[in-house]
Structure 1
Amino acid sequence: MKNKTLTYTSIAIAVMMSSAVAAKDLKVATSAQLGSLQYNTTQHFADYANEQFKKSGLDYNLKFFGAAQLGKDKDVQQKLKLGTIDLALLTSTLPTHVPEMALFELPFLVSDREHVAKIEQDVFWPYIAPAAEKKGYKVIGFWENGFRNITNAQRPINTPADLEGLKIRTPNSSWRVKMFKNWGANPTPMSFSEVFIGLQTGVIDGQENPYTNIYAAKLHEVQGYVSVTNHVYTPAYLTAGARHYKKFPSEVQDILEASAVEAQQWGYKEAARLEGELKDKLVAGGMKLNVANRDAFVNASQPIYDDFVENVNNGSAMLTKAMASAK
């Protein structure tokens, strides 16, 4: 009986030790493709944070899963709330659940990265991050996805009229769907992992994304035209489930949040470096490039602004502050 007791005790201790080790491995996910800015920034964040954990003597380790290995954005958002994924990089799908984030769905609102920094300080952290937390999402990093441009297989896009009848892939974002419908396109929500095949088979005619995502996904192989619109600047949000995040020790939270700030600056420098280079590579890859008529798109976008002000909590105040910070 004594030997059996020792055996049971040994097993119990082993299970407890195994659970303790597993609990210190934190999963970090992104649906972004290998080689994209989002993928690389998340990888950089995980590597940098792991260095800080090691220096601090904290037995924590971030395990990075890119290219939708742990699911598409919609699935990942649910897993964050459940705590089965610890951190994830989310972009255009989050505003559907947190309407305040739709500020960044307003076309042509953001002028440049200096303006982005002011909006982050004046609007994002005071208004939007707390709203996200109330919906169960703790944002710890405000990173870049980038300025979005339109590609398609039919013709150059110079004005909204050129989008008439085109099936344009959008993220699963109700705001992006409204935007392209307002411009005359036939918006088709689709996970980014399905876009290449959708374009190749003609299920969709085109899509819109920053250069980094277009090039990383090799969309130039199945698209003939890239139209420079810069219609939306999309941030990328390093996000945790709010309740799950509160369970982390404060020193772990400190390292994650400091590492997120460091990764933000790394990502901004990388984005600025790559922007012109990737545009040239898309053209070299066979795409025809044109610069769209910005005024024509701006004039067609007022209904999106009206919708935001009328239907989003603090919409008018946020918009006023965001526009004032551009001056």
Structure 2
Amino acid sequence: MKMLKLAGALLVSASLVAPAAAKELKFGHVGAPGSLFAVSAEHFAEVANANLPDGWSVAVFGSSQLGKDREMLQKLKLGTIDFALPSTVMSSVAPEFGLFEMPYLVKDRAHMQRIEQEIVWPQLVPAAEEEGYGILALWENGFRNVTNNVKPINTPADLEGVKLRTPNGEWRVNMFRSYGANPTPMAFSEVFVALQTGVIDGQENPLAQIASAKFHEVQDYLSMTGHVYTPAYVTVSANHFGKLPEEVQAALKDAAQETQSFVYETAAQMDIDLLDQLKAGGMQVNEPDKQAFIDASAPIYEAFAEQVDGGKEMVDTAISLGAGS
């Protein structure tokens, strides 16, 4: 009997220290095939799969197959998916992420990398961790532009009354409301049909999302407002990710970080190629008066400074890091 008890104890002890079983890790995102999200996640999976231990792999599921952004954030915590690539929606996780909702804050990708080092890792990533999320790397959604079926948008006044889809983030809604538009938060997967049926007049997204989602098929005008630059965050559950074997965690972190340079190079080329493609697809493209939009954006900055702890300091730091860009 004593021997049986000892054997049982040893089995229990072994089970407590046994390594996690190898498995397929699911990476979900909302991007359509060919989008920046899609090619970024696929590159990450390729790099990770070349370096993960035997039996471990990353599989990518785009086009909201694993859910909309908010749903995927919940699934991360439940452990039913392993990675997500949220963007704007992160401001609903922690208010500090609203920094990237401030219009015309980020000048270019070099500026963004300085903001990443000085603000994102020291301040935003810990704020996400407090809500149960880990961030492995910053990728990109991109510089956002307005499309619609009413008229070219040259100044904020041209947005008066335009029914414009926005992501589910309060700052984007407030920004376009202050410009005079009628902002309508909506999941990305629902936008094409809403544009096609006239439920909304327009939307705002980076060129990579506009082209891959084929919005040019249901939109007449593209106005290169460049009003907001949105990062994308390679996001995991802090709890579940921390339970993976250390060598698996290290391989995934390295692959996510290594993918950033690929993302930025790809995004910069897409900005050039896709603009030509959208023009060829029949969209009428115009360059708005950006200073008019900048002037109209002051109330958004004031509200962020008042409502978010440390908001003014973050904005001031980010602006100072733009010198030379």
- TM-score, length-normalised on structure 1? 0.91
Q: Which moved more, 1:151-160 or 1:241-250?
A: 241-250
> Are 1:208 and 2:190 matched, yes or no?
no
CA contact (8 A) 1:110 1:232 kept: yes
Of residues 123, 144, 150, the one that matches 1:148 is 144
- Distance in 1 (alpha carbons) for counterparts of 2:284 and 2:60: 36
CA contact (8 A) 2:20 2:245 kept: no
Of residues 235, 246, 250, the one that matches 1:250 is 246
Task: Please give the secondary structure, in 2, of the residue aligned with 1:231.
Answer: coil
Task: Please give the secondary structure, in 1, of the residue aligned with 2:88.
Answer: coil
> Are 1:219 and 2:220 matched, yes or no?
no
Q: What is residue 262 of structure 2 aligned with on the other side?
A: 266
The aligned amino acid for 1:186 is N
Q: What is residue 126 of structure 1 aligned with on the other side?
A: 122
Q: What is residue 11 of structure 1 aligned with on the other side?
A: none
What is the root-mean-square deviation in Å for CA atoms of aligned residues? 1.4
Q: For this pair of structures, how many residues does the alignment match?
A: 306
- Distance in 2 (alpha carbons) for counterparts of 1:22 and 1:151: 47
- 1:62-81 deviation line (CA, Å, top 9, x unaligned): 12111111111111011111
- 1:14-59 deviation line (CA, Å, top 9, x unaligned): xx9xxx9975221111111111001110111011101111xxx443
Q: Percent identity?
A: 52
CA contact (8 A) 1:95 1:101 kept: yes
- Distance in 1 (alpha carbons) for counterparts of 2:21 and 2:38: 24
Of residues 59, 75, 79, the one that matches 1:83 is 79
> Are 1:170 and 2:169 matched, yes or no?
no
Runs of 4+ in structure 1 displaced over 4 angstroms? Answer: 20-23
Q: What is residue 50 of structure 1 aligned with on the other side?
A: 49
- 1:116-140 deviation line (CA, Å, top 9, x unaligned): 0100011110110111110111111
> Are 1:195 and 2:191 matched, yes or no?
yes
CA contact (8 A) 2:147 2:223 kept: yes
Q: What is residue 37 of structure 2 aligned with on the other side?
A: 38
CA contact (8 A) 2:150 2:201 kept: yes
- Distance in 2 (alpha carbons) for counterparts of 1:322 and 1:21: 41
Of residues 281, 288, 293, the one that matches 1:285 is 281
Structure 1: stretches of 5+ with no match in the other structure: 1-15
The aligned amino acid for 1:164 is E
- Distance in 1 (alpha carbons) for counterparts of 2:178 and 2:150: 20
Q: Which moved more, 1:127-136 or 1:21-30?
A: 21-30
Q: What is residue 305 of structure 2 aligned with on the other side?
A: 309
CA contact (8 A) 1:158 1:291 kept: yes
The aligned amino acid for 2:47 is Y
CA contact (8 A) 2:22 2:55 kept: no
